[in-house]
Amino acid sequence: MGNEWFADSQAKTKWLSYDTDEDIKLLKIIRSLRCGNYSLATILRMLNALSENPEANIYQVIDTPKENDDIISVCDKLLTSL
């Protein structure tokens, strides 16, 4: 039983470490945008755009709220305001 648990924990550790660097980078981006007062809707829009097209223009995506967005933060159009 002990060896099965050890092998299982190694498999889980290997799986968890596979995307850890990418996940940490993504979390840093999310944290930076939240510190910049971007709304969660804007961050979700950016993540969806990147998953559809990794070459998407991030500046345009985060600066252009959709018409059907219920909540728009003041900073969601920060790049246009500058």
CA 63 to chain CA centroid, nearest Å: 16
Scan for tokens 């470490």, then name that residue.
17
**pLDDT tens string 61-75:** 887 776 766 665 555
Which two three-digit tokens encode residue 18? 């596979």
Q: Where are the domains positioned within the chain? A: 2-81
What does pLDDT average to over the chain? 73
Residue 41 and residue 27: Cα distance in Å, rounded? 16
**pLDDT tens string 39-63:** 888 888 889 898 899 898 988 888 7
Q: What is the pTM of this model?
A: 0.60
Which two three-digit tokens encode residue 54? 């990794």
Angstrom CA distances, 32 to 17, 37, 63, 68, 80, stand at 23, 9, 15, 25, 18
